[in-house]
Amino acid sequence: MCLQVAFAGCAGSGGPDLPWTADGRPDMSGLWQAMGSAYWNIEPSGPAAALAMRPGPVTPVPAAEVLALGAIGSVPSTYGIVVGGPIPYTAQALAVRDRNREQRLELDPEVKCYLPGVPRANYMHLPFQILQNESQFFVAYEYAGAVREVLFDDPGPPQVDTWMGQSVGAWEGDTLVVTVTGFNGMTWLDRAGNHHGSRLTVTERWTMTSPDHISYEAVLDDPDTYTEPWTMRFTLYRNLDPQARLGQFKCAEFVEELLYGHLRKEPLPR
């Protein structure tokens, strides 16, 4: 086993010159972010004028709730990160996806600043930071202050269901394989209404392909929602800017008026 650190290559490994921990594992510590628009839709899709539309004189126009945002409120195209075709929804789950999409301003948990869940947290529009040593692997996300710790000693089934689930990891060669279970079923996979249930199991594979790139793959298995397991895959990029820091986007206070404004003694007009 190679015990080299920093950016020295591991002799005999046949791999690229990666950073290594003291026990010879690829060191993924750093600030990372996905590129692309998968956080809008993990499946390929074209652009749209707005998150919500309403009938217009000739064609649909942006809904009143987002009209003032103009181009800022538009939806970009995305090439998708789902491998091998559309998500294999059951007929009932597909109907739920369509309802989510039609009512996403009201239903998307991101709008309310709820925690994003896994794998959604890994391809959102905000970065995250990995902190790693010989015995620990910790991920801090900028969005909503979400965090997760990968446990290398399996504690058994999760005691409670949570937004981010329970992550249990093991190394397969130079790939970190993480099994995530114990979800509350309330998170979405993107802003397009793609979803899962509480019986979801996510199997992540984190593989460094260079000092500044991680190949990320996740297999999603949820018999209540999908007819078969399916895979998403994308690349994570290291932020090399020496000034880069993980910012704070603790957005719960930003949505207080949305969630609780109607409870004011004299509610503000909407």
**Percentage of the chain modeled with pLDDT above 70:** 94
Q: Is residue 73 part of a domain?
A: yes
- Asked if residue 163 and residue 90 are part of one domain, the reply reads yes
How many domains, in total, are found in the chain?
A: 2
The separation between CA 240 and the C-alpha centre of its own chain, rounded to angstroms, equals 21
Q: Is residue 24 part of a domain?
A: no
Is residue 13 predicted with pLDDT exceeding 70?
no
Q: Give the chain's mean pLDDT.
A: 93
CA distance 208 to 197: 30
| pLDDT for 16 | 63
Q: Is residue 10 part of a domain?
A: no
**What value does the mean pLDDT take over residues 1-7?**
38
The answer to whether the CB of 154 falls within 8 A of the CB of 49 is no
Q: Is residue 139 part of a domain?
A: yes
**What value does the mean pLDDT take over residues 67-74?**
94
- In this predicted model, which residue has the larger pLDDT, 91 or 15? 91
Quote the pTM value: 0.91
- Asked if residue 130 and residue 66 are part of one domain, the reply reads no
- Asked if residue 153 and residue 106 are part of one domain, the reply reads yes
- Asked if residue 229 and residue 120 are part of one domain, the reply reads yes
Q: Is residue 212 part of a domain?
A: yes
- Asked if residue 114 and residue 55 are part of one domain, the reply reads no
Q: Is residue 95 part of a domain?
A: yes
Q: Is residue 1 part of a domain?
A: no
Instruction: Catalogue the long-range contacts made by 70-75 (C-beta closer than 8 Å, 24 or more residues apart).
Output: 74/47, 74/48, 74/49, 74/50, 75/40, 75/47, 75/48, 75/49, 75/50, 75/51, 75/191
What is the domain range of residue 143?
A: 30-36+81-263
- Asked if residue 254 and residue 128 are part of one domain, the reply reads yes
- Asked if residue 148 and residue 59 are part of one domain, the reply reads no
- In this predicted model, which residue has the larger pLDDT, 193 or 264? 193
pLDDT tens track for 127-186? 999 999 999 999 999 999 999 999 999 999 999 999 999 999 999 999 999 999 999 999
- Asked if residue 111 and residue 67 are part of one domain, the reply reads no
- Asked if residue 147 and residue 119 are part of one domain, the reply reads yes
Is residue 5 predicted with pLDDT exceeding 70?
no
Q: Is residue 102 part of a domain?
A: yes
CATH number for the domain that contains residue 224: 2.40.128.20
- Asked if residue 106 and residue 192 are part of one domain, the reply reads yes
**What value does the mean pLDDT take over residues 187-211?**
98
Is residue 7 predicted with pLDDT exceeding 60?
no
Q: In the structure, what pLDDT confidence band is assigned to residue 28 with cuts at 50, 70 and 90?
A: very high
| pLDDT for 270 | 74
